[in-house]
Amino acid sequence: MRLSHYLLVGCLSAVALAAHAETINNLYQVREAVNGQTPEERDAATQRALDTLVLRLTGDPKALSAGGLAAVRKDPQQIISQYGFEAGPPESLRVDFDPASTDKMLRQAGLSSWGNNRPALLAWWLNEGTDGANLVGDGQPTAEPVRRAAQHRGLPVRLPLADLGEQALGTAKTLDGSDPAALRAASERYGADGLLAVHARQDGGKWSAQWHLYLGDRPEQGKVEGADQAAVADAVLLAVSERLAPRYVVKSTGATGDMTLQVEGMTLEHYAALGRLLEPFGGQLKSVDGDKVIYKVSGSSDQLRAQLALGKLSELPPEAAPVVATQPVVPGAAPAAPPPQPSSGLRFHW
């Protein structure tokens, strides 16, 4: 059955997202550690939760000082749906922010936001402490600080199994190097979008970490410090979030505009996945022709390319102008219609 027939019968709502990017659940839910349940501690934790949420949605530290947020800083309750204390460990205040009110607040403040469809990262994370070095694996107790930090910063982070073969691979030499080929090969079975290589070291009573991010053709790296493993894990993922956000945040102002997007090789499952990928760009379906669809989108072409890369789409070159035979000019005849022009938008295929 043709794709257009599927669209007409309205079957799309039952189809799951097929893109490799991961949808973050509870993006608007923030947990902040507390020392007790006094009103003063609750108010301070609520302010920290608001800061965490703004960083999570914008990836921009400058957004915290935006003048448009002054009113909500005085009264965060206007965008909070509920909150409560959790025993832990660690004891924390959980704050559930209302998505609609929060997004409206950001728009009114002129801040750009990052949706909940984000690249999944496989973290090769080596902890080197006083008791030796250990590659953090899924299911290990040492994985908990990494998981909490990933949730806190709004990033979908996975960990390898860290079996004997992976422990032999995940050494300081490999993680600190600039060639991720070996890590890429070992990561294929996990189906992540990018790699995060972290070498965390304990030096006296503090921790530091060197990290390398490999996603697309733009590697990133940095170094952070923290009081303990939990603090350094949070610092790493905050830094990674701030590097990733500019690739995916849809600008509310600036060099953006409407454009057309043509995608070929469509199936019903691809259509559902594409719809989710285009949500931040206000994607509007304009036409369907066999396995080809055309959308109207709004935003930056570079950010659109980065977003579509999460779905493993490949870009096609612009369509060439069709060759039109030259007709002789007949005196008194109406001028010939101009030849059709190629599409000025972007073209991709699955």
Residue given tokens 């922010």 in the structure block: 97
Residue 350 pLDDT > 90 = no
143, 137 contact by CB (below 8 A): yes
- Please tell me the least confidently modeled range out of 5-9, 111-115, 242-246, 274-278: 5-9
Q: Residue 286 contacts by C-beta under 8 Å, 6 or more apart in sequence?
A: 260, 294, 295, 296
Structure tokens at 177: 């190097």
Model confidence pLDDT, tens digit, residues 258-279: 889 999 999 988 888 888 888 8
Residue given tokens 């990017």 in the structure block: 21
| CA 54/CA 48 separation, integer angstroms | 10
Q: Is the pTM of this model over 0.75?
A: yes
Q: What are phi and psi of 42, to 5 degrees?
A: -65, -45
Domains of the chain: which residue ranges? 3-19+252-349, 28-114, 118-249
Number of Cβ atoms within 10 Å of the Cβ of 321: 10
Q: Residue 164 contacts by C-beta under 8 Å, 6 or more apart in sequence?
A: none
Residue 285 pLDDT > 80 = yes
Three-state SS annotation for the chain? CCHHHHHHHCCHHHCCCCCCCEECCCCCEEEEECCCCCHHHHHHHHHHHHHHHHHHHHCCHHHHHCHHHHHHHHCHHHHEEEEEEECCCCCEEEEEECHHHHHHHHHHCCCCECCCEECCEEEEEEEEECCEEEECCCCCCCHHHHHHHHHHHCCCEECCCCCHHHHHHCCHHHHHCCCCHHHHHHHHHHCCCEEEEEEEEEECCEEEEEEEEECCCCCEEEEEEECCHHHHHHHHHHHHHHHHHHHHCECCCCCCEEEEEEEECCCHHHHHHHHHHCHHHCCEEEEEECCEEEEEEEECHHHHHHHHHHCCCEEECCCCCCCCCCCCCCCCCCCCCCCCCCCCCEEEEC
| CA 161/CA 272 separation, integer angstroms | 31
Model confidence pLDDT, tens digit, residues 127-159: 999 889 999 999 999 999 999 999 999 999 999
| Residue 204's pLDDT band (cuts 50, 70, 90) | confident
CATH of 118-249, one of 3.30.160.100, 3.20.20.220, 3.90.550.10, 3.40.50.1820: 3.30.160.100
| CA 157/CA 176 separation, integer angstroms | 19
- The dihedral over CA atoms of 157, 280, 288, 302, expressed in degrees to the nearest 10, equals -80
Q: Given this model, what pLDDT does residue 239 score?
A: 98
| CA 45/CA 306 separation, integer angstroms | 35
Average of per-residue pLDDT across 156-179: 95
Closest Cα partner for 302 from 233, 247, 221?
A: 247
Model confidence pLDDT, tens digit, residues 121-135: 999 999 999 889 999
